[in-house]
Copies of this chain bind each other. A is one copy, B any other.
Amino acid sequence: MKLTILGCYAATPRTISNPTSQVLEIKNRLFLIDCAEGTQVQLRKSKVKFSKINHIFISHLHGDHFYGLVGLISTFMLLNRESDLTVHGPKGIKEIILLQLRASGSFTGYNLYFNELESKESQTIFEDDRVVVKTIPLKHRIYTNGYLFQEKNIERKLNIEAVENYNIDKVYFNKIKFGGDITLENGTVIPNSELTFDPQVAKSYAFCSDTIYDETIIPIIENVDYLYHESTFLESEAHLSERTMHSTAKQAATIALKANVKNLILGHYSTRYGNIELFKDEAQTIFQNVQLADDGKEFEMD
């Protein structure tokens, strides 16, 4: 699992920083999370293969989280994309994108699907044989979801020694990995538990931006390996944080602590602060494993 930060600053794009967008590589799938203005240029800078992105997850309809989406969809078109693209995001996103595509008189040559969200409960919005994605309902000025990405490690680990002892043929290995018992030629049944170990621990990543301090998300994000939690402000600007429905670094750390996550990544910094190390310092008064997101930074999560 690998996270690439394309942009992690609040509000407007600047010459030195970009609003929210990130790419999560998980089990060989590439997911784009939020898509502010400038995302496609940031994707190019980070050398992300455009064609590998098949799902885009938009948290909410503030400009600094999705104004780059229509341009990216258009660029996919110019690149002669053929594979399906699904955009998961708040209800209303489809009308915004299609209105603009219609106005430009151009339509995608690929299938463009919208999974419009309006539930205030956490729900599974994507699942295949390797990954599950669930929403994390957040509290912000408008309807907002965070996203929980979980690996699915259903393949059990082969106990090579045991398999060799029983002289089991290779052709049965896949059956064993997926939990099957084996009947030997003499009729003896070897239970799967004798032939395998438990699967590797499945990794998980929770993206929470933008949001107030909200303990109701804790049961959803509990024990995740990595939590990205917005920290637009420091405690010294707690009044602004409250008014604009954002969080402080200390609040982000408190959520990380209470949810027993393994690592906290901070981001969505207000551009009023010259030095983002201040966010880390504040968070570490509460929770130790803090890392700072920054544009172009990559987090290897294995």
Contacts and interface: CB of A to CB of B under 8 A. Distances in A.
B11 A78 contact: yes
B78 A12 contact: yes
A91 B76 CA distance: 26
Contacts of A62: 104, 106
B61 A104 contact: yes
A62 B45 CA distance: 24
A103 interface: yes
Contact of A13 (B71, B92, B93): B71
Nearest to A93: B103
A41 interface: yes
Contacts of A11: 75, 78
A38 interface: yes
A70 B142 CA distance: 18
Nearest to A17: B41
A68 interface: yes
Contacts of A67: 37, 67, 70-71, 74, 100
A105 interface: yes
Interface residues of A, number: 34
Interface in A92-109: 92-93, 95-96, 99-100, 103-106
A175 interface: no
Nearest to A67: B71
A63 interface: yes
Nearest to A140: B105
Given A62-B104, A70-B63, A14 B99 contact: no
B104 A99 contact: no
A93 B70 CA distance: 15
Given A61-B100, A99-B99, 6 more contacts: A12-B40, A38-B38, A62-B104, A67-B67, A67-B70, A105-B142
Interface of A: 11-15, 37-38, 40-41, 44-45, 61-63, 67-68, 70-71, 74-75, 78, 90, 92-93, 95-96, 99-100, 103-106, 141-142
6 contacts: A12-B78, A37-B38, A37-B68, A38-B41, A93-B103, A96-B99
